[in-house]
Amino acid sequence: MQKRVILKFRKSSIIGVLIIYYMLMDSSFPFAESGSALNFFYWTKFALAIVVVSYAAFSVTKRDVELKSICKRTRHLFFIPWLLMILYSCIIWIMQKTAIPYITRGISNFIANIIPILLGVALVLIYREGIIRLVVIAICMMAFTNYIMGIIVNGLAFVVQLFNINCEESTFRIYKELHEIAYIAGLLLLYYFHKKEYRLNKGWLISVFIVFFFAWKRIGILALVMAFIFYALLKHINKSGKKSTVTACGIVALVLSILYVWMSASDELSTLLHEYGINMMGRDVIYSYFRKFCDFSIIYLGHGIGFVSRQFNFITWEDVGVMIALKQGLHNDLFSLYLEIGMIGFITWCVYQLIYIPQKIRKWFGIDCAVRCFTYIIYTFVTYTTDNTLRYFVYQMTLVILIAVTCYENCKKKNNIRQDHFDVKELRKECK
């Protein structure tokens, strides 16, 4: 009886879709507007994630060794930086005699950021590459839930506003500008761009594009363009050239990330964007508030992870004015990381993400796989500049899924090629 139940759960795509749909509740569900509802969905999301991770760890036993190895390696790649960050933060907390509320927030942030990693790996173990299709269906379902609610609340005027890229009214934007879903949609479009032989209903793929378009996240569009440009540059380069180019691009991205943090930690970013008429949506006010907690210096050590989110609890009207309503985060993950782990920590983190991870993937799975995964990293890094995607639960889960699945599909493709060569040799032997 137990085996039948496990088999049914493993093969049930509906359960997989519902799991991902539920993970989006606290960030994207239109009915989760009150504090009590948000808290309920937030905490139960982690509880459900732990259940799924436990199921994958103890019940999913009949999986090929290669898949388990890939999932283990992917889990380690994403888990190690968070482990190093919490250990570094412990040292900082002791040195700076940090107050207990900041320490507990840092520990809770650490846990909240490793659970999506574990959940992403668990879902790949359960559903293999089929999990991508389930993510597609889940985000489209959540997006269309919002669109239907937008029509109910605003009438047919909402349909018109869906096509308005300059929509400013909050009553429309709350159901249209779905931040996390939009970024996930862009990541999925990038995945399917690489995977030409995909098996997916074209209607779902069109739906992903529609969701991405309606949200009209400027940084998401820029991120997708940057990833495509990088891929176009490497498309016609030989394998040895690709290796050095990926590393070189990682170094360039590292330098640009440090430059961006310098601009964020000073008035340079605000001055530059205002000069070109780019609306920062009040982010410059928030950045200005947090600048007083740091210096742009090699000896700046940071305040430990969790500092930024905890400090938001102490912001007053006198500090940021109307932007006091912005409690979701700094909307600049690179600057946020710098504030928390300092200059050396930030540079180390960037080197790990932009250089170490692609090199490891290349070593394990080949340069073509590394190039594909690096485009996901580039896309993600661009979104880090003006949003909180490093802390978006389902986004980080999807990133883990895409990298694990991309590596798994690459291994399957190589194995199939080897098998075809072996079959040809055997056939020739029989003919002789």
DSSP, residue by residue, 156-179: THHHHHHT-TT---HHHHHHH--H
| CA dist., res. 110 & res. 390, Å (int) | 12
Which residues lie below 8 Å from residue 375, measured CB to CB, with a gap of 6+? 190, 194, 227, 228, 230, 231
The number of angstroms, rounded, from the C-alpha of 37 to the middle of its chain's C-alpha atoms is 24
Predicted pLDDT at 420:
47
In angstroms and rounded to an integer, the radius of gyration of the C-alpha atoms of the chain is 23
| CA dist., res. 367 & res. 358, Å (int) | 9
The residue among 214, 228, 227, 224 whose CA lies nearest residue 181 is 214
- pLDDT 10s per residue in the chain (432 long)? 344 444 344 456 899 999 999 999 988 888 766 678 888 999 999 999 999 999 998 877 666 789 999 999 999 999 999 999 999 999 999 999 999 999 999 999 999 999 999 999 999 999 999 999 999 999 999 999 999 999 999 999 999 999 988 887 888 888 998 999 999 999 999 999 887 655 566 778 888 999 999 999 999 999 999 999 999 888 788 888 899 999 999 999 999 999 999 999 988 887 887 777 776 777 888 888 999 999 999 999 999 999 999 999 888 888 877 777 666 688 999 999 999 999 999 999 999 999 999 999 999 999 999 999 999 999 999 999 999 999 999 999 999 999 999 999 999 887 765 554 444 344 445 445
- For the question of whether the overall pTM of this predicted structure is more than 0.85, the answer is yes
Predicted pLDDT at 145:
95
| CA dist., res. 253 & res. 237, Å (int) | 20
Question: Could you please report the per-residue DSSP string of 237-286?
Answer: S-HHHHHHHHHHHHHHHHHHHHHHHHHHTSSHHHHHHHHTT---TTHHHH
Predicted pLDDT at 36:
82
| CA dist., res. 106 & res. 114, Å (int) | 13
- Asked if residues 105 and 306 have their Cβ atoms less than 8 Å apart, the reply is yes
| CA dist., res. 327 & res. 337, Å (int) | 17
Residue 282: phi, psi to the nearest 5?
85, 0
* Residue 53 vs residues 115, 170, 333: alpha-carbon distances, Å: 9, 37, 27
The number of angstroms, rounded, from the C-alpha of 186 to the middle of its chain's C-alpha atoms is 11
- Asked if residues 406 and 375 have their Cβ atoms less than 8 Å apart, the reply is no
Residue 165: phi, psi to the nearest 5?
-75, -10
| CA dist., res. 331 & res. 353, Å (int) | 20
